[in-house]
Amino acid sequence: MAIWTPEQKTKTKKLKVEGCTHVYELEVPAPKAVEAVQTALVRLQLTARIPGFRPGKAPLDQIKAQFMGRARAQAADDLIEGAVREALGELKLRPVAMPAVGNVKFPEGGGLTFEMHVETAPEFSPKGYKGMALTKKDAKATDDEVAERLKQLVEGNARLEAADGAAAKEHYVVIDFDLSRDGKALEGGAGKGELVDMSSDQTVDGLVEGLKGAKKG
C-alpha cells in the first residue's frame, strides 16, 4: 500500500469550459508515476518469456531492457484511469459520456500530465412553468388489452421444453439446413441449430409450411 502526501497527489487545473465540455489538466507527480512503472515491470516479470529463463524467473534488469516501453504504456494507462476517476470525484462532475484524454506527456523519470475533456449535462433554470394549465387524462385499459399484456408476460417468462410428435404452429423447432437453387448451393445459405418459431413469419418463404408435420430427427 502506498500513502501519498498532499504534495504527491494528482493536481487538477481547469483550462477552459466550452458549452457543456470542461477541459482540465491533470498532473500525476513523479514519485507516483515511477512507482506505477515499477509495478508494471514486476507484473511483466511474472509472465514474460525470455530465452534461458523460466517464466517469472528472468531478472528485472532483463525485463527493463526488453519491456520498458510496454511497462511505461501500461503504467500510463493505469495512472490515467486512476487520475480521471479521482478527479471526477473531487470535482463532483457527472459526465454524460466517457471522458476523453489527450495531450499526454510522460517523460522518463518524471510525472505524467494530460488533458481531460468532460462533457456534462447542460445546466439551466426552468422558468415560466408556474401557473400553467394542465389537463389530466385517465388511461383505462380494456379487458382485451389486459389479456394481451398478460399473454405477453406469460410468453416472455416461458421456458422451452422438449416435445414429442409432429411440428405444429404452437411449437419451436431447431433445425440444420442447406439452401440451394436449381441444384446449386446458395452462398451463406446454411445453418446449424437455428431456432424457428412456427407461429411467426420467416425470412425464407414457405419454411414454416414445409416444417409442419416434420418429426424429430
Q: What is the pLDDT of residues 144-173, one digit of tens each?
A: 999 999 988 988 887 878 888 888 888 888
Which pLDDT score is estimated for 147?
A: 94
C-alpha 70/C-alpha 43 separation (Å) is 11
Q: Is the pLDDT of residue 1 over 60?
A: no
C-alpha 108/C-alpha 106 separation (Å) is 6
189, 179 Cβ separation under 8 angstroms: yes
Q: How many CB atoms lie within 10 A of CB 3?
A: 5
Which pLDDT score is estimated for 149?
A: 93
Which pLDDT score is estimated for 7?
A: 58
Instruction: Enumerate domains of the chain plus CATH numbers.
Output: 6-119 (3.30.70.1050), 163-217 (no CATH)
C-alpha 107/C-alpha 151 separation (Å) is 64
Q: What does the pLDDT average to over 28-41?
A: 91
Bridge partners (DSSP) listed for residue 26: 12, 114
Q: What is the pLDDT of residues 83-135, one digit of tens each?
A: 999 999 888 888 888 999 999 999 988 899 999 999 998 888 888 888 888 88
Reported pTM: 0.54
Which pLDDT score is estimated for 202?
A: 67
198, 211 Cβ separation under 8 angstroms: yes
